[in-house]
Structures are given as structure tokens and as C-alpha cells.
Amino acid sequence: MNQNQTPLFTGVKNHADKKPTQFHIPGHKGGKGMDKEFQQFLGDNALSIDLINIEPLDDLHHPQGMIKDAQSLAAEAFGADYTFFSVQGTSGAIMTMIMSVCQPGDKIIVPRNVHKSITTAIIFSGAKPVFIHPELDNRLGISHGITPEAVERACLAHPDAKGVLVINPTYFGITADLSHIVDIAHSYDIPVLVDEAHGVHIHFHERLPLSAMQAGADLAATSVHKLGGSLTQSSVLNLREGLVSHERVQTIMSMLTTTSTSYILLASLDTARRHLAMNGHELMESCIRLADSTRKSLNQIPSIYCPGDEILASDATHDYDPTKLIISVKNLGISGYDVEVWLRENYSIEVELSDLYNILCIITPGDREENVERLIEALTDLSEQSSGTVETKEIVVKVPDIPVLSLSPREAFYASTEVLPLRDAVGRISAEFVMVYPPGIPIFIPGEIITSDNIAYIHENIQAGLPVQGPEDSTLETIHVITEQKAFK
């Protein structure tokens, strides 16, 4: 196949160039019928391809023409047997993955620190989660992935599970040994579903961790929009044939997708794929070089630490993506949140995320030398301002015990509930999510039995000033529980 071609983008552009007289939606008709300021801001080119699935432009729900061709090129570029375009982000692709393999009552093995789209899919599908604790990094105060050994134990205990879900790489760019995890799950005929929201680029350079398709996974939900150069909200779902039917995936994807698919988003997937396939290696090469030199400079700033190869110290940290700069700021004596706000207010710098101990900055093909120089200048300034006042804090990252799941999250979500003081809720079934971030691991999800140990854990975290999030009552005095469903006699 010729990866230099863009059948979808070219097809849509050619259609717009014919300037057809339009008697169809979108009603702005190339921008002429919309607010003038917005029309001028977006420009004629973008508005001329803001189209929907009229006959010459194919249909994402039943691709036969230019979308099919664009998806086939993407499959080749990502090393998949099939690629499905998503205009509903990786969240949409993740829900499709889970609903493609799980029916109500089916088990799915998942890490405890999953994105909300995974818990949503578990509720929608009626699946029963079998949770695995991710490994914690006590030095950085973050959670990593799950280990092959933990997956082996979970598969042995639940050989009837319908899927193993792996986050590869994590938000912080860390990966476990995915090939090994795939071998283990496949030895039980269990498909491996990968949340690859933060890993579209890793497929294109040998110094980056193995992508889901390279590691032999069955499905991967991949955010092209996050790090692959397409527009926000556009993602792909990659499939390797064998344990999962592509017809089933197409059906579920279609059920969860708008009938008014944006051709601007679809065309951006087609062109991002071309850019990655044609130039991905070179682009990643310069990102890695820029990130490596930035990491070196950051580590020369007093009280700042940016981990590199030394992070690869356990089974959960088999490999890492060097373009993610995890910047530990705990030795500055202020939190990552404070650093984020300080950078915004003093240097107009926006970071990717912050938590109590770190900020995360990402290096992509959109970066130039001067961007990282500004970051280094800002953090040097901050470090100088805080020097002398610093008291190094020890991080204690603990993980709550995983409570017993008494109802499926779906049954709990639809059950009638009542509000109780938290201290009186022991033995009752939670109807809410409660989690501490960092490390982003839920204490309760809907359907789990509340224990006194886990209530004590919540109080410990509140007293330590850690953000406990999730419940409707943000003071955590009260919690919603399932009405009159006594879990214990």
C-alpha cells in the first residue's frame, strides 16, 4: 500500500472543490449560514470539509469506499489486521473493546487504576471486574502498571475471564512486559485489551516501548489525537484477528457512535496516519533527543528530579517512554499542583498534569528547543526562590485493600440508594466511587462492600491532606449506599 496517499482527506477535499449546491446538513453550508466571527476564525478550508456521510463520502458505520481505504492504510501503519476510526475519543474505543468481549455477568481482569471509560464500559456491559493492584512507586508517589506475575495469578484464579485489560503505557509513559502478559493471557485463550491512550507514537521508534500490536495484543484503543497529530477527539481501535471477531467490533463501535460523524476529525486521522507512517521514525528520533537533553538539564536544577533509565527497576517498569518528562518537585517543599499554578502565573507555561509530588511535561513533534529552554529557565527560577526553605518530605503511598464485590457495578449503579453517615456504612454496599489521587486508585467502586479498614484509610488520607475524590458529598461525611441490601447478617 502507498502510505503517502490519503484517500479520505483527498476524497473529501475533491468533493468540496466541486462546490456542490448543498441541500443537506450541516445547515451552515460551508460556513455561509453561521456566525461571521466564528466563520472567519475557522476559515473556508475547514468549513468546506465540515460534512457528514452523504453518499460520495462513504459511511463510518458501513465503510465501503474512502473510509475503508483509509482504515486499511491505518491498519498497515499500526501493524493491525483491522483499524476502526473513532470520532468519540479513546473513551469510545475503550467502551467498544470491553463491550465486544464481555456480556452481562462475564469477568474481566483489569488494573485497579483504570480510566473512567473502563468503569463506564463495565457498568454498560454488566461485566464483573476482577481487579489487580498496580505496582506503586514510593519514590515518585505514582502508580505503574500490572506485572506479568499478577496477570498469571489472576488468569489462574479466573480462567473463565473474557479479557485482560492492560494500560500500556501509563499516563507517565511506563510499560510492563506486554508481550509476556499477552503470552500468559493467550495460554488461557483470554484476549488482551490495551488502553493505549498515551502510546500512539511508540509504534514508530525502536527506542520506545513495544506497541500493543507489536506485542501481539488483540485490541488496542489508541489516542491518535493525544500524541499522534490528529485533532482532539479522534482515535483508533486496532484489532489483531484470532480471539475477537472484527464483525462484532464493527457492530458495537457503530452502536456507540454518532450517526453524524465529523469528516474534519476523520480526515485528520487519515493525514496523521500518513505523517506517522512516512515520518514517524524521524519525528520520534528528534523528540527523544530533545527529551533526553531536557531531562539532563532538569536534573542539574537543585531539588528537581526527572527520572530516566533508573526507573526500570521492577517487573511493572519493564520499559518507558523517554518523551514523557516526569518532574518530581517534592524536594522544592511545595506540591505539584502549586508548581503547575506557579508556572502558569509566572511563565505562562501549561503542563500536562500535576499531582501532589510531580508535574508531567510531554515532548512531541510540536516542540522546539526554545520551549524546553523556557521550562528549564522557569524551574531554575522556582528552585532558586525556594532554596533554603526546603524540607524533604518522605512519600508514603499506601493502597487500600480491594473490597469484596457484592453486586456487579451495573446492578449497583441501577439500584435504589440511600445516604448514610460514612461511619455507619460498614457492611453496606457502596453506590459511589471514592478514590485518592495520587495514586489514582479507587477505594470503593459501586457494588463493593464498605469495610471499617477502608473507612479508616479514607480518614488517614484526609488527615494527611491528600485529595479524596468522587463522592457526591465532597466532605465525605456521608456516602450513598444501596438501600436495605445488608451485605452481612
- Where does this chain bind ligand PLP (CB under 6 A)? 89-91, 94, 115, 117, 167, 171, 195, 197, 223, 235
- On whether the CB atoms of residues 359 and 341 are closer than 8 A, the answer is no
CB of 337 to ligand PLP, least distance (A): 18
Task: Pick between residue 293 and residue 469 the one whose CB is nearest to ligand PLP.
Answer: 469
Task: Pick between residue 69 and residue 196 the one whose CB is nearest to ligand PLP.
Answer: 196
Task: Pick between residue 167 and residue 455 the one whose CB is nearest to ligand PLP.
Answer: 167
The DSSP bridge pattern shows strands 235-239 and 219-222 to be antiparallel
- Helix/strand/coil for 420: strand
Task: Pick between residue 171 and residue 444 the one whose CB is nearest to ligand PLP.
Answer: 171
Residues 142 and 112: their CA atoms lie apart, in Å, by 13
Which phi and psi angles does 79 have, rounded to 5°?
Answer: 70, 30
Which phi and psi angles does 424 have, rounded to 5°?
Answer: -95, 5
CB of 89 to ligand PLP, least distance (A): 3
Task: Pick between residue 117 and residue 335 the one whose CB is nearest to ligand PLP.
Answer: 117
C-alpha cell at 124: 454498560
CB of 373 to ligand PLP, least distance (A): 28
**Which residues are registered as beta bridge partners of 435?**
442, 469
- On whether the CB atoms of residues 150 and 132 are closer than 8 A, the answer is yes
Task: Pick between residue 94 and residue 99 the one whose CB is nearest to ligand PLP.
Answer: 94
Using only C-alpha atoms, the chain has a radius of gyration, in whole angstroms, of 24
Residue nearest ligand PLP, CB atom distance: 89
Task: Pick between residue 11 and residue 145 the one whose CB is nearest to ligand PLP.
Answer: 145
CB of 91 to ligand PLP, least distance (A): 3
CB of 315 to ligand PLP, least distance (A): 20
Task: Pick between residue 51 and residue 97 the one whose CB is nearest to ligand PLP.
Answer: 97
CB of 52 to ligand PLP, least distance (A): 21
Picking from 266, 274, 276, the residue whose alpha carbon sits closest to that of residue 86 is 266
Cis? peptide before 302, omega within 30° of 0: no
CB of 93 to ligand PLP, least distance (A): 8
- On whether the CB atoms of residues 203 and 179 are closer than 8 A, the answer is no
Picking from 386, 387, 373, 379, the residue whose alpha carbon sits closest to that of residue 328 is 379
Residues 463 and 453: their CA atoms lie apart, in Å, by 15
Q: Identify residue 306 by its one-letter amino acid code.
A: C
Residues 314 and 307: their CA atoms lie apart, in Å, by 14
CB of 194 to ligand PLP, least distance (A): 10
- On whether the CB atoms of residues 212 and 169 are closer than 8 A, the answer is no
